[in-house]
A = this chain, B = another copy of it.
Amino acid sequence: MRARLTASRERIIDAALGVLAEHGYAGCSVAAVAARAGVATGSVYRHFPTKADLFAEVFRTASQREIDAVTRAAAAAEGTAAARIQAVIETFAGRALRSPRLAYALLAEPVDPAVEAQRLVFRRAHATLLAGYIAEGVAGGELPPQNPELTSTAVVGALAEAMVGPLAAGVAGPETIGGLVTVIHRALGVPS
């Protein structure tokens, strides 16, 4: 049945996500994913032409979930650029702190070049979202003139580094989020 096919495809993606979140990309052999999904190694290849294709999709799915959450939070915030950007930071960081292994995998862990491309899309999507709010803030006079592309890229880098950077263990706690909001608001020129 068609449903069976789709279901096992889903199961494989879920399994891959699970292995990713537990053991990182390094632990993601096709055999391990298949075992977790409860299918044979070879069956993975009925659904995905290549390991890289599988993980490109896994990354796409997981990233989309993150981006959706952030986008929703930003949309729900008050209308100022400062409030929307604060929502982005808090959502992004809050979720990353709740699933650090997954955050590391999505943001920084070594992966195939093909999968790396998806990561860029992920980071890019966050930057684009931020750039929009920054541009609005500039247009409305809430923020000083600046290049929204550059600023948003810098903000994404700052967020990622603070979450998974070398200091992650020492720096990333709940109190980090407030600090990040302050620093980033200052960086954008949000009036105190």
Chain A interface residues (CB < 8 Å from chain B): 26, 110-113, 116, 120-121, 123-124, 127, 146-147, 149-151, 153-162, 165-167, 170-171, 176, 179-180, 182-184, 186-189
A188 to B111, CA, bound (A): 33
Besides the known contacts A110-B110, A150-B183, A157-B157, 4 further A-B residue pairs in the complex with CB atoms under 8 A apart = A26-B113, A120-B166, A156-B165, A157-B165
Q: Do A183 and B171 contact each other (CB < 8 Å), given the known contacts A111-B110, A166-B123?
A: no
Whether B150 and A171, one on each chain, are in contact in the complex, defined by CB atoms closer than 8 angstroms, is: yes
Instruction: Report how far A159 CA is from B150 CA in the complex, Å.
Output: 10
Asked whether B162 lies within 8 Å of A160 as measured between CB atoms, the reply is no
Q: Could you tell me if B110 and A151 are in contact, using CB atoms closer than 8 angstroms?
A: no
Q: Which of B116, B176, B186 is A150 in contact with, Cβ under 8 Å? A: B176
CB distance from A188 to the nearest CB of B (A): 7
Q: Are A150 and B127 in contact (CB under 8 A)?
A: no
Measured between alpha carbons, how far is A159 from B170 in the docked complex, in Å?
20
Please name all residues of chain B whose beta carbon is closer than 8 Å to the beta carbon of A189 when the two chains form the complex: 186
